[in-house]
Amino acid sequence: MHVMIIGAVGMLGKKLASVIAKTRQCNGQSVTRLTLVDIAVAETPENPAFPIESLAFDLSHTDTAPLLTKRRPDIIFHLAAIVSGEAENDFEKGYAINLDGTRHLFEAIRRERDRNGNAADYRPRVVFTSSIAVFGGPYPDTISDTFFRTPQTSYGTQKAIGELLLEDYTRRGFMDGVGLRLPTICIRPGLPNKAASGFFSSILREPLVGQPATLPVEDTVRHWHASPRAAVRFLLHAGTMDSSRLGHRRTLNMPGLSATVAEQVEALRTVAGNDAIALIRREPNPDIAAIIAAWPQDFTADRATDLGFRAERSFEDIIAVHIEDELGATSA
């Protein structure tokens, strides 16, 4: 089986590629070839057990996607996107990458099917990472998969259109699409990025290694989270699941954990003590607060759970995953 990861330099792309390269599987199915794609060349493991190709392409360019689909991967993980804050600040860039790049890919898949005159010749599984930002208020207490999509940011709008395209191209038989509305991934490793939600990770990540962090919103802010480890499991499961069980609703709310900032902080206190808490500096940022206020706070993920997707049940668990995976230790 040939797997392609578009957005392979990003945090989730790197982790997904590492798991596939190490296990030589995608959720139990054997992988014989892996192609990594991003705007820069992704690092590849030394002495891999199967061919791994790393390509530098910009998916927003119209000629890129056909070069990828002619390789005919069996599974395409479409992770390429710019994050929420950057998409809001740079309108043209957000639409070029998050929307146009997605449309170029889906259209290239459709045209690749027709290239040899055989409509049944190519129909890959496409796993598209969407976002809870597709929803807009006013919100009920919890959001289901069927809650209407009325995004209140450019990023959410771009992801919502991507979901609709995924459903239509799947309905027409051009591909086998599965959309995942990811929770905010926490704790993200590495340096802070331009995501409006980045502080949810930084208020835990930095204090865990003795560094200060800035908190731009009130402690009462509630949000929906899952760890990077859980997100990679979501992707792998979506790559090989029985998609016929999705029917025409191809995008799922992923499981996660609804928690307030105060609950995050208390989990950090439990794991790392008061010295870590003292490193959190409260510096209100109205722009970030406004973006976060437009996002829903709690979800039902019954469909995804019934289909075998799983996430953490407490923030102590999320912190423990970060310590084990990124800091080389355990919280115990």
Residue 148 lies in a domain: yes
Tokens of 24: 């030589």
Residue 89 lies in a domain: yes
What pLDDT sits at residue 118? 60
Strands (E), 7-113: 25-26, 29-30, 33-38, 52-56, 75-78
The CA distance from 102 to 165, in Å, is 9
Residue 156 lies in a domain: yes
Tell me the residue range of the domain where 70 lies.
2-186+227-255+297-312
Which residues in the chain land under pLDDT 70? 114-120, 329-332
| Side-chain-side CA neighbours of residue 266 (13 Å) | 8
Instruction: Tell me if residue 122 is catalytic.
Output: no
DSSP 186-245: -SPPSS--S-GGGHHHHHHHHHHTT--EEE-S-TT-EEEEE-HHHHHHHHHHHHHS-GGG
Cis upstream peptide for 138 (omega within 30°) = yes
CATH number at residue 56: 3.40.50.720
Residue matched to tokens 């992707």: 235
What pLDDT sits at residue 331? 41
Residue 90 lies in a domain: yes
Confidence (pTM): 0.92
Residue 163 lies in a domain: yes
Total number of domains constituting the chain: 1
What pLDDT sits at residue 295? 81
The CA distance from 184 to 169, in Å, is 27
The catalytic position among 95, 122, 139, 155 is 155
Q: Do the beta carbons of residue 238 and residue 176 sit within 8 Å?
A: no
What pLDDT sits at residue 124? 97
Residue 318 lies in a domain: no
Residue 273 lies in a domain: no
Residue 282 lies in a domain: no
The CA distance from 278 to 219, in Å, is 15
Q: Three-state SS for 56?
A: strand
